[in-house]
Amino acid sequence: MSKQSIFIALSNQKGGVGKSTLTVLLASYFHYVKGRNVAVVDCDYPQFSIQALRTRDTQSVEKNEQLQRQLCEQFEQTGKKAYPVLTSGPGKVLETAGKLEDSCELVFFDLPGTVNSPGILEAIINMDYLFTPVIQDRMVMQSSLSFVATLQDFIRQYPNAPLKEIRLFWNKIDGRVSKDIYRHYNGIFERIGLKTLDTVMPDMERYNRESSSGNRLLFRSTYFPPSGKLLKGSNLDMLVGEIERIIYPNS
């Protein structure tokens, strides 16, 4: 494939921060709503959770006439087929991405949670942008800072690497918790030279709504964008808008 594509990775060495779910949500929104040609490379060996979701989505569509009609209507309106989901074993991330067609504008990578996985540091510095979700948990925060510090030390050895920017962002934030907590941490991030996104993602059950659970309104899907009714208050559209301004600064 041509390296005119923009490589975007969501990564954090702590599990449970929502990187796989957010990879799907971002990919589907950019592809089906924004009209960008998207691909996903699921590198989270061995569970391959995004590929597993694509399989569940396919089975749901095959068994549900309403979803079949919805998929046909979506194609008639947008002309967008489902984006490809590839799986990649350790150390073969860039090799797998090379199999994609040149028409891909954005390639989202769901990377393994540990920088000790073979080839992961090399893969990260060959991304264009890295977004690291963090949650309000002291152990997660410490692990996330350690993860980013390790990356920064590695990146310094390769000043000409493609990686342009690392951004942390808050995910799964309980709306009842004081905003002072993450504002405090944002100040710490800033003092040590780390950038954060302005968008804060709330903790909502709707993020788990998918076709296999029999929900009429979908949120997490590789075939459809989030339902408009569920999108309100999710901040996903705000997250997409902020990322879009970063990766397309001249648009």
Cβ(2)–Cβ(101) below 8 Å: no
pLDDT tens-place string over residues 165-208: 999 999 988 877 667 777 788 888 888 888 999 999 998 888 88
Token match 């990879």: residue?
Answer: 23
Per-residue pLDDT of the chain (251 residues; tens, 9 = 90+): 556 899 999 988 777 788 999 999 999 999 999 999 999 999 988 889 999 999 999 999 999 999 999 999 999 999 999 999 999 987 888 889 888 878 899 999 998 766 667 778 888 889 999 999 988 877 887 888 888 888 888 888 888 999 999 999 999 888 776 677 777 888 888 888 889 999 999 988 888 888 766 667 789 999 999 998 899 999 999 999 999 999 999 87
Cβ(201)–Cβ(169) below 8 Å: yes
Residue 1, in any domain of the structure: no
Position 83 scores a pLDDT of: 97
Position 112 scores a pLDDT of: 78
Residue 232, in any domain of the structure: yes
Rg over alpha carbons for the chain, rounded to the nearest Å, is: 18
For the chain, the maximum distance between any two Cα atoms, rounded to a whole number of angstroms, is 54
Print the domain residue range for 149. 6-247
pLDDT tens-place string over residues 225-240: 999 889 999 999 999 9
Question: What is the identity of the amino acid at 239?
Answer: L
- Beta-ladder partners of 165: 129
Q: d(Cα 126, Cα 123) in Å, to the nearest integer?
A: 5
Least Cα distance to 14 among 165, 87, 118, 115 occurs for 115
110 exposed, middle or buried (CB, 10 Å; 0-12, 13-18, 19+)?
buried
Question: What is the identity of the amino acid at 140?
Answer: V
Which helix (H) or strand (E) covers residue 131, if one does? strand 129-134
Residue 12, in any domain of the structure: yes
- Return the CATH number at 240: 3.40.50.300
Residue 46, in any domain of the structure: yes
The pair of three-digit structure tokens given for residue 73, joined into one six-digit string: 């209507």
Position 115 scores a pLDDT of: 65
The pair of three-digit structure tokens given for residue 34, joined into one six-digit string: 């924004």
- CA dihedral for 164, 182, 28, 78, sign (positive or negative): negative
Number of domains in the chain: 1
Q: d(Cα 17, Cα 174) in Å, to the nearest integer?
A: 13
